[in-house]
């Protein structure tokens, strides 16, 4: 079995569970084979640009009312600041009147829900563990998935010591062998981008899908 075939088997199961998921969400420090979203908000505004989110957070955190004030707290050029403000304006998150800034939507007040990253490996669980640990910077939970006949080769202490979960995959089901521990490294902006990328890839994402994470033991 190749890794792509293992991913296809998981996709089939996740579809049956009616979970929101997507393959190969591209983040700066890794590309999980699968990202699952639970308890996601239908009001979520998809923004994949880190600096646009950073500018928004500056406006909120520093209570900025004027465009010229942003430069006091940012190394971005005026041209880049205007570019990211325009992106926020296009989504009606903010509006401007000459130099004045008005916040229309407090996207930071909306719950991001839960995101789960999965790295699929046929045999090389050690490399999978390294990759899954990277995903903790933008995921609430991170797993390595192996075919059920490869589980016996795993050193379980390596997983329990790192907080990474382990999934056993068969043609019939997904079994959580070792539960994942919630990440302490998950960055809000990176998580926001991960969920935005997930939702961008999914069509009719809230139509008939489950927002439950009952497949996993951390709920």
pLDDT, tens digit (0-9, with 9 covering 90-100), for 86-117: 999 999 999 999 899 999 999 998 899 999 99
Band (pLDDT 50/70/90 cuts) for residue 190 is very high
Strands 165-169 and 100-103: unpaired
Chain-centre distance of CA 52, in angstroms?
Answer: 17
47-72 per-position pLDDT tens digit: 999 999 999 999 999 999 999 999 99
Strands 141-147 and 165-169: parallel
Q: Measure Cα distances from 34 to 30, 89, 168, 179, 197 in Å.
A: 12, 31, 15, 17, 12
Taken in order of first residue, the domains within the chain and their CATH numbers are: 3-42+110-201 (3.40.1350.10), 50-109 (1.10.10)
Q: Does the pLDDT value for residue 206 go beyond 70?
A: no
Band (pLDDT 50/70/90 cuts) for residue 208 is low
141-156 per-position pLDDT tens digit: 999 999 999 999 999 9
Query: Which of 208, 144, 146 minimizes the C-alpha distance to 179?
Result: 144
Band (pLDDT 50/70/90 cuts) for residue 133 is very high
The span from the CA of 135 to the CA of 29, in Å, is 8
The span from the CA of 104 to the CA of 91, in Å, is 10
């Amino acid at each position: 079995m190749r890794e792509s075939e293992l991913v296809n088997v998981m996709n089939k199961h996740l579809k049956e569970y009616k979970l929101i998921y997507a393959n190969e969400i591209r983040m700066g420090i890794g590309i999980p084979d699968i990202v699952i979203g639970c308890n996601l908000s239908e009001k979520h505004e998809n923004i994949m640009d880190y600096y646009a989110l950073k500018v928004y957070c500056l406006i909120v955190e520093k209570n900025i009312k004027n465009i010229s004030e942003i430069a006091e707290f940012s190394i971005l050029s005026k041209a880049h600041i205007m570019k990211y403000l325009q992106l926020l304006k296009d989504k009606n998150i903010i509006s401007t009147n000459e130099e004045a800034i008005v916040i229309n939507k407090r996207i930071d007040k909306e719950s991001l829900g839960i995101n789960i990253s999965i790295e699929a490996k046929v045999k090389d669980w050690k490399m999978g563990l390294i990759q899954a640990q990277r995903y903790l910077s933008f995921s609430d939970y991170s797993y390595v998935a192996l075919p059920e006949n490869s589980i016996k080769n795993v050193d379980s202490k390596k997983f329990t010591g790192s907080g990474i979960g382990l999934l056993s995959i068969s043609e019939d089901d997904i079994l959580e062998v070792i539960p994942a521990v919630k990440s302490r490294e998950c960055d809000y902006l990176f998580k926001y981008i991960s969920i935005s990328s997930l939702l961008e890839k999914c069509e009719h994402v809230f139509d008939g899908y489950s927002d439950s994470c009952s497949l996993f033991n951390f709920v």
